[in-house]
Amino acid sequence: MLEAIRRAIAFLRQKQVLHRLGVVVSVTVIAVACYVLYHMLRGIDANEVIDAIKRTEPRRIALAALFVAAGYFTLTFYDWFAVRAIGHGHIPYRVNALAAFTSYSIGHNVGASVFTGGAVRYRIYSAWGLNAIDVAKVCFLAGLTFWLGNAAVLGMGIAYHPEAAASIDQLPVWLNRVVAVGIIIGLIGYVAWVSVRPRVVGRGPWTVTLPGGPLTLLQIAIGIVDLGFCALAMYMLVPDEPHIGFVVVAVIFVSATLLGFASHSPGGLGVFDAAMLVGLWQMDREDLLAGMLLFRLLYYIGPFVTSVILLTLREIILGARVKRLRRLTPGPAAEPRREAVYVRERGDGGA
């Protein structure tokens, strides 16, 4: 059965069916979101949105910022886990943290995070001896952690409160609960599958050994905590009235986030917003839009600016080290490769 699935996937890849299907799905999601957003935002008073932002309590904004920071801190363990899973435990946590924070914050804002985030990771990890294949493995395992966490949050959340998902996908409540139970059963089956014996995916140098049962549970826990903090940040910024429980907001938030990723639009722009407006239809649109704008500022814009500054400073520092080494190294060795300088500087605190 598994061999038949592998052959089918290989055939689809050869014919570029998966790529074309992905493009169709992305375009469809964006088109539907734009249509919904257009109708949802008709009649919105921009002045009322600005007033709603001004009325937001500083305490709630501060708590939301704290939860965003906690979410990004948890997110750094995606790379910490992935790098050690492929056998590069010599890389310190600070490098994992820098790579994870900058790659995700830039990838979220620029879009096509698989490529943009991978490029940022390669720039950082190549200084520590990782090649392009190693970085691709890190991206794969970090992505696996993200999706396992999403599946766990959605499965448990929708099973507990299927009405929340029904407000977005417009499916019957009972069908959403069935899907949620299926997701949970699939997660349990996956954990059992990797627990029996080592599982390997890929071929040749692209081979990746999947984490075993206990490590997979750790992956799921990291993903749940990360998404939980992000959902708490959003919960702090949505209107108080009508009162909607945290689980409902979390399910709608995660669903909207996944739709945003599926669209590959920068920051899920348009898609995330349309899903949130549809899912939380009970709330005042101006107040909800104000909360979403504040969330974008805290979760997307702030980290993006910080990441650009960090990477710029890193390049300036490493460039200065290259110049210093050139001055100290006479003769033919005066033109060392930039990567070699990175590696040499690891011993005295280089990034």
Question: Cβ of 62: how many Cβ atoms within 10 Å?
Answer: 11
Q: Which long-range contacts (CB under 8 A, 24 or more apart) does 73-79 make?
A: 74/222, 74/225, 74/226, 74/229, 75/100, 75/101, 75/104, 75/226, 76/100, 76/101, 77/222, 78/104, 78/142, 78/145, 78/146, 78/222, 78/226, 79/103, 79/121, 79/138, 79/142
Quick check: helix, strand or coil at residue 51? helix
Identity at 114, one-letter amino acid code: V
Distance of CA 345 to the CA centre of its chain: 30
* Token pair listed for 329: 């190294």
Q: Which of 97, 209, 91, 233 is nearest to 144 (CA)?
A: 209
Cα–Cα dist 65/31, whole Å: 31
Give the pLDDT score at 34. Answer: 62
- Does the predicted model carry a pTM greater than 0.75? yes
Cβ–Cβ under 8 Å, residues 342 and 318: yes
pLDDT of the chain, 351 residues: tens digit per residue: 444 444 544 544 554 544 455 555 555 655 655 655 555 566 676 788 888 888 889 999 999 999 999 999 999 999 999 999 888 888 999 999 999 999 988 887 776 666 778 888 988 998 888 888 999 999 999 989 888 988 999 899 889 888 888 888 788 888 999 999 999 999 999 999 999 888 888 777 888 888 988 989 999 999 999 999 999 999 999 988 888 888 889 989 988 888 877 766 666 777 888 888 888 888 888 889 899 999 999 998 899 999 999 989 988 888 887 778 777 776 554 444 444 445 444 544 444
Q: Which of 285, 339, 257 is nearest to 39 (CA)?
A: 285
